[in-house]
Structures are given as structure tokens and as C-alpha cells.
Structure 1
């Protein structure tokens, strides 16, 4: 699918400033898997620490997947989980450094960086992760996964859908339920996507002046 054809909304104001969380979707709406892959591809343009891209996705878009999703979320999240077109679990990958050389070698092969720059990266950033303790790797992957999650929310709206981010689930069950290594993958967020079946509450934000200090 051509991404430019599937994008319905390319306005910064509409996509970001008018995004709202929807908790009830039209259950008969199906998002093609190739479009779901486009959403994820667009989301992964997100920045990440040292370009490590420490994220992983589990997409539940059929009855089997949705039943698994239903089994791990809290009851107050059943409305969006059960009616959405797809719910995507975003996990941090604490071992993404195992693929790190592939990315930078490809960049070097394509002439984006010099071999010297590639080797500099391998000698500075890579050892931080190869020898990092679990606490460091978990925190780093959760930052990356959080950033890609926000981009996924915006990508969904750009494609003409609405979404709902949620963390109300049994975190300990996520990886095992989807056949993943729970030592490697850390659940960060789930995002329900679809066509809204309700008008969401018009929420307000705190005054930014109360949240900000200039140092």
C-alpha cells in the first residue's frame, strides 16, 4: 500500500492538536494488515537512544488475537479492546543491541556514513548496551517504546482513525500470552485503533505556565 494514498489527514493541527482518546469503536471496521504495517513503519521513524530502536509490536486484529488481548487487560479497558479494529501492544526490547550492527553496517554500505563513523559507534555506544545491567536496558527500552507509541497515535489519526493508549493490563502476562521472552520484552503500552463510535470527552490541559520553569 502506498502510504501517501492511505493517509487521510496531513494537517499538523488536526493530527496532533485535535487528537483525542476514544474508548468505543465501530466493531465492524477492519483495517487491512498492509495499512497496519504502514502505521507501524511510520511510527518507527521515531527517534531512539543511539538509534537502537528498542521496540517490538504485537498486533491483535482478529478474534484469536483480540481474545488474548481481552485476557490481559483490566475490565475497565474492555470497551476499547473488544470494539477496536486492532489493538497493538508496544514492548521495549532490552536486547535490541543484538541487531545494532546490522543497522549501522547497512548505513555504511549505503554510503550514509563512513566506515570510520560506523566503527566509532561500535566502539562507543554498543559497549554501553552489551555490558549494561538490566535496569539500564529496561529504562532505555521503555523510553524508546514510549516515543514510538506517541508516533503511532499520531499515525493512526493521520490515516483517518482514532486511538486509545492504555496501560491498564497485567504486565506480567503480556509477554507469555503472546509467546515472547518476558526477560527480553517489557510491556510499555497498548494502543487500540479504529473508527470512533462515540464523541470523546473534550478534555482540558493544565496551564503550561504552572508546569514550566526556565533555568
Structure 2
């Protein structure tokens, strides 16, 4: 599909065909493409909890204010941000040296820079949410391009999800995405015009 058409036709779909079951291969293909999203130092702060089991979806629905689409979609995905992504700095430095992005003797400096940047807990959280959000948008656009519908969700109790699904403390539930076959027939809500959302140079 033409990219501009993907953007224009993507909708937040609330109702799904419960008879459609997506395969792991289909879901993982979407994830693979979505994971080409950008991230600082290529640390890739995202992780996905993918729930397809019917009983597990019911449990997740309870953590999401009982919204029916959570259990009706083929998969409900909790997009997580990793607070410890910076700990992969060594892997990044090694790959960058192999590809000639940094000289071999520059690996330690790169690692030190990354660790220094992530010393602040707020920075770790901001980057985890930022990375997860970039990947989430890519996931939704990829799904649309492959003929599937999605809906981003913030209506859930993150701590309830953490407890119910044993999510490690370093992973933050940033948002949820329902995924499956469905369509939105209502007219799209209006968008603010460029003149309302652009400021050039300075305020």
C-alpha cells in the first residue's frame, strides 16, 4: 500500500472479528518490521507482551477497565519500555566498531557516554517511554499495511498488568495495542490544521 494511504486509512478500531486468529508468524513479521524504529544509540528500548490466549486476554481485559476489544482482538499487545536498555551499550559499541562507525579504541568512550547519559532515573524513564512509543506507532502502521487493524490504548492499570503478567520491574507498560481484523466505519474525527500546530523558529 502507498505510504500516504496507510497513514490516511489507519484508524483506531474498536471492534474485531473474533473468528480471525493470527498466527505467530504473522504477528512476529509485524514486530520485526516495527523494530526498525529509531532509538538513541540503537538501544531499542522496546519489548512486547503479546497476549493471544483467550483466558489470558480475559485477564488482561480486567486490567484494562473491562474494554471488550482487548479480548475480541486476535492479539492484545502491551508495549513495554526497558529502563535497562542502556546496559546493552557494550553490544552497541562492539557492533559500531565492527561496522566502522567508531574506531576500535573508541568503544570504551562510547560505552561511558551512554552510561553517563542514562545516570538520571528520569532520563531512563523518558527514553523507555519514547522508544516504546516510536515502536508502537511503527507497529500500527505496519499492521495496517499488512491488512490488519489496531487501536492504541492508555486505558489500563499498569501495576495490575505488571502483577498479573509477572512483568519485570525494569519494563514499563507504556501503552497497549489491540491487533486483528476489523474496521472503523464512523467518520474520522477532525484534525487541527498545520497553522494551529506549527511555530517556526521560536515562540
TM, length-normalised to structure 2: 0.90
For each residue in 1:72-116, what CA deviation from the matched residue of structure 2 results, as whole angstroms up to 9, or x when unmatched?
A: 1013xx231121010110011101122232233234345665424
**Is 1:141 equivalent to 2:141 in the alignment?**
no
Other structure's SS at 1:206 match: coil
- Matched with 2:196 is 210
CA contact (8 A) 2:54 2:71 kept: no
**Is 1:195 equivalent to 2:181 in the alignment?**
yes
- Matched with 1:72 is 63
**Is 1:150 equivalent to 2:137 in the alignment?**
yes
For each residue in 1:36-74, what CA deviation from the matched residue of structure 2 results, as whole angstroms up to 9, or x when unmatched?
A: 111111111111122221111100112133122112101
Q: CA–CA distance in 1 between the matches of 2:153 and 2:27?
A: 18
Instruction: Give matches, 1:1-215, under 5 Å.
Output: 10-75=1-66, 78-109=67-98, 114-129=103-118, 132-181=119-168, 183-196=169-182, 198-215=184-201
**How many equivalent pairs are there?**
201
Q: CA–CA distance in 1 between the matches of 2:186 and 2:132?
A: 26
Other structure's SS at 1:58 match: strand
What is the RMSD computed on CA atoms of the aligned residues? 1.8
Other structure's SS at 2:113 match: helix
Structure 1 unaligned regions, length at least 5: 1-9
